[in-house]
Amino acid sequence: MNEELKNWHAPCGIYCKRCPGVQSFNCKGCRTLKGQISKFPVCKTFQCIINKGYEFCYECEDFPCEKLQPIVSFEIFTPHNSKVYNLLMIEKLGLSKWNEICEEKSDLYYRGKKVQYGGDPLTLEEKDPNFYKKKE
């Protein structure tokens, strides 16, 4: 596995280049920093995965676990809310393929919209303003 590529994808599934810590703390990714971002405590998720000898959380029999629980009040670090999805995509596609599309998927996560409902794909296109008007 390409180490440079792996360094930008945290064990928990965060795509590090989208994390505010990269800009705010000049973070190089938790793998490079061994789970110690700035003056924050060492990440317990990072410690767990290293202690178990895995590269990513999806390899663990306890996946998904409480350490991956998203939390709304942590919205400044919105990449945390996409961890499980990212991990499933890394498991499904492999890290190299996921890395090729993760920027686009990240854009859809932050700025995407549903054209209609349910399982419709996300889009960055504007919705038809008449779509939700009551039909007479």
pLDDT digits (tens, 9 = 90+) for 55-92: 999 999 999 999 888 766 655 566 667 889 899 999 99
Q: Is the pTM of this model over 0.85?
A: no
pLDDT of residue 61: 96
- 52 Cβ contact list (under 8 Å, min separation 6): 60
Q: Residues in the chain, how many? A: 136
pLDDT of residue 13: 92
What are the CA-CA distances from residue 35 to residues 30, 40, 45, 53, 71 (Å)? Answer: 5, 9, 8, 14, 20
pLDDT of residue 75: 55
Which residues in the chain come in under a pLDDT of 50? Answer: none
